[in-house]
Amino acid sequence: MKEYIEQNRERFLEELFTLLRIPSVSAKPEHKADMYFCAETLADLLLEAGADEAGVCETAGHPVVFGQKIIDPKARTVLVYGHYDVQPVEPLDKWNHDPFDPQVHDGAIWGRGANDDKGQLFMHVKAFEYLVRSGKLAHNVKFLFEGEEEISSPSLPAWIKAHRKLLKADICLVSDTTMISDKVPSINCGMRGLSYLEVKVTGPNKDLHSGHFGGAVANPIQVLCEMIATLIDADGRVTVPGFYDKVVELSRADRRLLAKAPFDMKEYKEFLDIREVRGEKGYTTMERTAIRPCLDVCGIWGGYTGAGAKTVLPSEAHAKISMRLVPNQHSAEITKLFEKHFKKIAPKYVKVEVTPCEGCDGFLIPISSPAYQAAARAIGEVYGMEPVPARGGGSIGILGEMQKILGIDPLLMGFGLERDTIHSPNESYLLRQFFAGMESIAKFYDYWK
């Protein structure tokens, strides 16, 4: 594969760029046509790579791309999952160039989707192409690329349920996560779940003149701040009663294993330009994002937010709150606990509304499985170092769903790095990770027999 990459390097980048130039932002209705165009472009790429069939399938929302090559009904089957939709690009002024005009510089591909997930899913298409063209393909391969991952896959579960037979496979192979670093390869053996809610605090029934009422009527922004301030205690623990009840404490041995992954606090702080980290007492920074749940305010708004000084005591204040969950915590349950707690702590001078937005459970992957072992061997060879089993801090809700519906485990061969700043301005993907990923994937097929 290494040689094949060298021969086709420029073509690979050109093909990827045709995908990256399409603004397939699933969250925004005005990009509906872009979603279709992106799906069709991707189906064409699959056919060119060697798929027997590939096409765009309707769902209740944005379309799904499905393609496959069946070499032998009795052979092992790999289902590759990825998503062609991308996050919104705002704030636009923080990008160094047009997010949909991909560029290569400083050893990386830059642009929205460079990594998440167009860049990562593209590695699978090219590894497949190599196996087909070199006559080495020994598996049935199915591709499932959705267009709604960034909006939490509302339509995919129904589509999967309706196409159980078509999707039958032995493993679900996914590249949509990160590694510890490009020098310390790792494989995700679990991801966090998610509970995401919106809260609204209402004080007076109308916006008031802060001179006439200020000091006498509870200000809903003040109250919301006071309520949010109590959600995390001095030890960095979430105060929602019952929040930690089902969290499984890792054994000392397991924590020692996780701690083997190198971590440079100085580098970490420099990367973020922060003087100090903050998190749950008694856990390391790596543990805090991997094996521990947490709560974050993802957005807050209320009152006057324009230029200059408007003196208003507003009627409402709002916040979006996400909780990352670890395996065994159930999203639906945590959402209910939060809702109950948030209403309970509301002082009597305001009204509080809580609206659950979305959620998913976390999951774990057994590292003893042959598929995991094959992936570890493949990555180990490419990187010259055995990959560390790691836990992903993010959430890919649909994988847990697929595990439930299709009965197949996901295998997370992710090649992203923290420095790629996916979801943020100036998303990037290191070229050496991009190509090492392709190579590792091709080797995985070789070792998983």
Residues numbered 322-381 forming contacts with a copy of itself, rule: CB under 8 A: 322, 324, 347-350, 357-358
Q: What's the CA gap between 8 and 274, in Å, rounded? A: 41
- Residue 59 tokens read as 């769902």
* Site track for a copy of itself across 21-60, x = CB under 8 A: ------x---------------------------------
Question: Measuring CA to CA, which residue among 17, 6, 20, 25 is closest to residue 85?
Answer: 25
Strand pairing class (186-191; 388-392) = parallel
In the complex, what is the shortest distance from the CB of residue 232 to a copy of itself, in angstroms, rounded to a whole number?
7
Among residues 37 and 283, whose Cβ is nearest to a copy of itself? 283
Which residues in 132-191 contact a copy of itself (CB under 8 A)? Answer: 151-152, 178
Among residues 26 and 77, whose Cβ is nearest to a copy of itself? 26
In the complex, what is the shortest distance from the CB of residue 445 to a copy of itself, in angstroms, rounded to a whole number?
28
Among residues 148 and 439, whose Cβ is nearest to a copy of itself? 148
Question: Measuring CA to CA, which residue among 107, 143, 105 is closest to residue 125?
Answer: 143
Among residues 143 and 196, whose Cβ is nearest to a copy of itself? 196
Please tell me whether residue 297 binds a copy of itself under the rule CB under 8 A. yes
Of 215, 251, 252, 384, the one binding a copy of itself (CB under 8 A) is 215
Among residues 228 and 378, whose Cβ is nearest to a copy of itself? 228
Which residues in 419-448 contact a copy of itself (CB under 8 A)? Answer: 421-425
In the complex, what is the shortest distance from the CB of residue 145 to a copy of itself, in angstroms, rounded to a whole number?
21
Question: Measuring CA to CA, which residue among 128, 133, 122 is closest to residue 69?
Answer: 128
Helical H segments across 101-229, by residue range: 118-133, 156-162, 210-213, 220-229
Residue with tokens 């591709």: 143
Chain mean position to CA 85: 12
Which residues in 221-240 contact a copy of itself (CB under 8 A)? Answer: 221-222, 224-226, 228-232, 236
Among residues 67 and 393, whose Cβ is nearest to a copy of itself? 393
Q: Show Cβ contacts of residue 197 under 8 Å, excluding neighbours closer than 6 positions.
A: 320, 321, 322, 335, 338, 339, 354, 355, 356, 357
Three-class SS state of 433: helix
